[in-house]
Amino acid sequence: MIVETTVVGQSPAGDLALAQPAGEASNGGPVLNEYGEAAATLAGGGVFGAGLLDAMGINDGARRIEVRGGRARPLPAVPEANAPSKTLQELEQAGLFVRPVVRSSHFVSGVLGTGVEKRGPVPVATGQRSRFARGDGKCVAFVTWSPGRKEDTTTRFELFDEEGRLRGASDPKKLRLRQGESFVQYWEINLAALQAGVYRVDVVAGPDPLWRTFFRVIN
């Protein structure tokens, strides 16, 4: 879907203020100028790929959450006037856009926590929250699957910083999905290796992200 909008201002952080808000599924997508060139990325609540509720959950109080209109992060300037053009796919691979989350009948839920405990036959995530300190050592991204049909694919966890740069990922793992066979997966994130800031976790099955969440790390 293509929606026409106009730039009506600029935030103190340099984001472009747009006249119309973008839908939650559009956050992280491209903004094109009148020539069809990619000029910016829809930034939602100020973080690539984050909706308003996500932004409120990780807000540190110092950043104002804008509800009216929309905002977009300008793309880096082209270094040279005669530099070769790049496709939207190449820009996405460089981390300048965020792929939309795809709905799946296999996926149930995901949470972040401080650890995993076995309470009965099924492990559960403990200390569930979206703000962690580097001194916590680690956190876990914990997801629950309840396959709706038979399918064989791969899955992996991906970690990105606030600017959309890939900071870590698990190796792709074979995912055997069978109806009626529920299971959980989790991935440990080394908080001590991260700087203070906002991070994004994507759970990817095959080529598509099925779940996305954001968390803040403090010193």
pLDDT in tens, 187-200: 999 999 999 999 99
User: Given a cut of 90, is residue 203 above it in pLDDT?
Assistant: yes
- Pairing state of beta strands 208-218 and 30-32? unpaired
Q: What is the pLDDT of residues 19-48, one digit of tens each?
A: 887 777 788 889 999 998 999 998 876 677
Cβ neighbourhood burial of 123 (10 Å; 0-12, 13-18, 19+): middle
Structure letter (DSSP) for residue 192: G
Strand positions, DSSP E, the chain:
7-10, 16-18, 30-32, 38-42, 70-74, 107-113, 115-119, 122-126, 131-133, 138-145, 151-161, 166-169, 173-177, 183-190, 197-205, 208-218
CA 189 to chain centre: 15
Q: Is 88 helix (H, G, I), strand (E, B) or coil?
A: helix
**pLDDT confidence of residue 185:** 95
Highest mean pLDDT among 18-27, 61-70, 144-153: 144-153
Mean pLDDT of 125-145: 95
Mean pLDDT of 10-21: 85
pTM of the model: 0.82
**pLDDT confidence of residue 210:** 93
**pLDDT confidence of residue 196:** 94
What structural domains and CATH numbers belong to the chain? 7-93 (no CATH), 107-218 (2.60.40.10)
